[in-house]
Amino acid sequence: MTFGEKLEKAVGAHGPLCVGIDPHPSLLDAWGLSRTAEGLERFALTAVEAFGGKVSMVKPQAAFFEAHGSRGVAVLERVIAELRDSGTLVLVDAKRGDIGSTMAAYAQAYLGDGSPLAGDAVTVSPFLGFGSLQPALDTARETGRGVFVLALTSNPEGAQVQRAVAPDGRTAAQTIIDFAAARNSGISPCGDVGLVVGATIGETDVDLGGFNGPILAPGFGAQGGSVADLKRLFGPDMRNVFPASSRDVLKHGPDVSSLVRAVRSVQDSL
């Protein structure tokens, strides 16, 4: 199956919600867990039990696992494997971006068949030039996986680069969107190159009309993004928009049934 076909099947079964697994130290504290690799593992596997097979996509944040060194990365590998075994799509939120052979190595790590860190998609940064992503784009297409490219993020500093205007009059964000749209052209049901557009950015000031790919909209829930924001930003046709919620769901742990109820509540709101 292509990545677009996998997304279509997942959304048909569970709706568009993407739930994050963010083992932030403050959440470990709130769950009564230690800030150790053991606490990380218990947190992450509890989330897997709650979310696996119940949502279309889960987004583990790689940084919080990497912070625990090799033991944390081993937990991330287990999270990816168990979620995929449950039939849930895994978007590894690693935001990788580099050039040449280094980007090719990142592509193999997060998108290559047989890699323990390869989910179904990975987030990438295009700010060394969209062309620098070519190894990841090619590997994703070859293996039936996807990439989500940072376009308009919700952090205030992002505007310094993302809204900068090029000589042709387009913003950097619009240039990224146009490159991604060209890569997805003609693919059905949608392309394998997605975008990351924050749900809390206010106004997009970009043209997303006709973009034939998935859009990840982080910031939904605890960070202030609402259904009304999603409709305003992306219009009434949001078939390929995936609102992402992490803390708004994870705050209900560590009880698995409470986490499941929180997921159901967000799904109903969407």
Q: Annotated catalytic sites, by residue?
A: 95
- Residue 201: what residue type? I
CA distances from 107 to 113, 123, 216 (A): 10, 11, 20
Phi and psi based region of residue 87 (left: phi greater than 0; alpha: psi -120 to 50; beta: remaining) = left
End-to-end Cα spacing for the chain: 26
Contact criterion met (CB below 8 Å) for 253 and 46 = yes
Which residue, 116, 109, 108, is CA-closest to 84?
116
**Residue 171: strand pairing partners:** 165
Please state, in angstroms and rounded to a whole number, the distance separating the CA atoms of residues 140 and 210. Answer: 22
Select from 67, 79, 78 the least CA-distant residue to 35.
67
Count of residues making up the chain? 270
Specify whether the CB–CB gap between 247 and 257 falls below 8 A: no
d(Cα 10, Cα 3) in Å, to the nearest integer?
A: 11
Instruction: Give the 3-state secondary structure of residue 63.
Output: helix
DSSP assignment string, 135-151? HHHHHHHHHT-EEEEEE
